[in-house]
Amino acid sequence: MVKKSSQQRDLFESERSFRLLVEGVADYALYMLDPNGIITSWNIGGERIKGYSPQEILGQHFSRFYTEADRANGKPARALRIAREQGRYEEEGWRVRKDGTFLWASVVIDPIYENGALVGFAKITRDITERRNAQIRLEAMQTQLAESQKFDALGQLTGGVAHDFNNLLMIISGSLHILKKGDPEDPRFQRAISAIETAAKRGAALTGQLLTFARRQSVNPQAIHLADRIEAIREVLYAGVGSAVHLAFDIDREVWPVKADISEFETGLLNLVINARDAMPDGGTVTIGAHNIVLDDPLHNGEYVAITVNDTGLGIPSDVVDKIFEPFFTTKPVGKGTGLGLSQVHGFAHQAGGTIKVASELGKGTTFTILLPRETAAASNETPDAATVRGSGTVLLVEDNPDVALVSTGLLEQLGYSVRRVADAEAALRELESDGVDFVFSDIVMPGKLDGLGLAHLLRQTHPDLPILLASGYSEAAAGVRGDFPILRKPYEIHELSEAISKLPR
């Protein structure tokens, strides 16, 4: 009898100690639910986190902590079912306090069994709102850092781009002088036309690459052909090195695809090229290479692609090499660099599942090597068809710039179309009151209350069967279309215009 009494006393003390422990925990809401989700116990942590006293909450259903949307979607019942069927339920999500404010909670629900029968659930809730907010702030700072890295690289391009565009303008203006004074039968006449055409194409390519390079976008890894991507930004790379540095390429013809974010890759390569340029104040050669390689080391094993940027510059002192990938570390004079370039390359390489290595010798130069794993998925490598297709019908051209309108009208007429031209969206709506328009070709950025995109959306309501083709040379405006309408990017060539028109629904 004495032994039994002692056991009961020990059990009572054990239960009392456990109850005091649970009730005294202030950082966690620890409480019990019956099998139907009714709250049967409550602790000081629950009161602190959710705002309810035991008298207010005991006997209430735990679903009152959920948002109205979650309750409507049946989330509380689903949580108990998952805990019962899978042995545990865990999630993070919004919960509602007594005063109606929200908290971001980490939630764990465990089923409690006695003699094989479900007697309820143990529920643990932790308020991690501050942790989540800190994570959001960190991600925002990382995004801002990535943007600053990108625009630091763009800033380094300014001089080279201005030089290139001045050369292009010189070619165009000089050739136009020959055309004005020359004889159409003179060979120089045709050479001048070819020079203008080449300069226009190079200017368009350089502008397009800069707009693509500068765009704000989320990281989107995809399979890419390195040779194609390097070729796609060749003009930007030439602008980056300037006239005193020779840019060479050593790309294997059969180099494997890799999986990486295209924008991050282009930014990283440009950063390495600019870094190499700055290491050669008296000029030299920068060589960009890409080769297949098989690695056999503990961290990186298997088939990789080695992307190299080699310069013939000053080299990096041994006491500096270990610091070059640190953010904001730079040996350049004030105003010549932020120290973000190599940090971005390091981050990109590791984000893509690879690494970056550096080999340098004072007075002889430096080689940076980005190692990226081989990607077995096929990379897109389509080439556009340059053929033009003659059409017929009447086009309503909406273009506020008279010079651009003149050129666009000429291209459309060459393709066989009759053209009615108006300068803004309001005039386009008046013109469409009369019949005879087969499709609308409109610029996006225009003066007035309604731009080209607004016009397109309005016409989709008032003239649902009327095909619409949009055009813009401004990347932000084009991004706003979001696939709702076909868009042609300026400057365009006649075969691109023909192809875009041929794809319009009729």
Do 239 and 142 reside in the same domain of the chain?
A: yes
Residue 419 confidence (pLDDT): 93
Do 224 and 327 reside in the same domain of the chain?
A: yes
Domain boundary among 127, 154, 172: 127
CATH number for the domain harbouring residue 86: 3.30.450.20
In a domain, 383, yes or no: no
Residue 145 confidence (pLDDT): 65
Do 412 and 478 reside in the same domain of the chain?
A: yes
Residue 392 confidence (pLDDT): 84
237: enclosing H helix or E strand:
helix 234-241
Structure tokens at 178: 């020959």
CATH number for the domain harbouring residue 405: 3.40.50.2300
Residue 482 confidence (pLDDT): 61
Do 203 and 143 reside in the same domain of the chain?
A: yes
Does 491 sit behind a cis peptide bond, omega within 30 degrees of 0 on the bond before it?
yes
Residues β-bridged to residue 177 = none
In a domain, 385, yes or no: no
Does 54 sit behind a cis peptide bond, omega within 30 degrees of 0 on the bond before it?
no
Do 316 and 183 reside in the same domain of the chain?
A: yes
**Packing angle between helix 129-181 and helix 341-351, nearest 10 degrees?**
110
Residue 147 confidence (pLDDT): 62
User: For the whole model, what pTM was predicted?
Assistant: 0.45
Domain boundary among 127, 155, 189: 127
CATH number for the domain harbouring residue 183: 3.30.565.10
Do 369 and 279 reside in the same domain of the chain?
A: yes
- Total domains, the chain: 3
In a domain, 487, yes or no: yes
User: Within 13 Å, how many C-alpha atoms sit on residue 361's CB side?
Assistant: 3
**For the chain, which ranges sit under pLDDT 70?**
1-26, 142-168, 170-171, 174, 177-178, 181-182, 198, 201-202, 205-220, 326-341, 378-389, 474-483
Residue 417 confidence (pLDDT): 93
| Angle at 299 (CA atoms; ends 293, 300), nearest 5 degrees | 15
Domain boundary among 338, 373, 408: 373
Do 352 and 431 reside in the same domain of the chain?
A: no
Q: How far apart are CA 112 and CA 120, in angstroms?
A: 5
Residue 262 confidence (pLDDT): 81
Structure tokens at 91: 């999630």
Q: Could you tell me how far CA 176 lies from the centroid of its own chain? A: 41
Do 398 and 271 reside in the same domain of the chain?
A: no
In a domain, 133, yes or no: no
Do 363 and 440 reside in the same domain of the chain?
A: no
Residue 394 confidence (pLDDT): 93
Q: Are 205 and 235 in contact (CB under 8 A)?
A: yes
Do 209 and 80 reside in the same domain of the chain?
A: no
Q: Are 291 and 306 in contact (CB under 8 A)?
A: yes
In a domain, 18, yes or no: yes
Containing structural domain, residue 250:
138-373
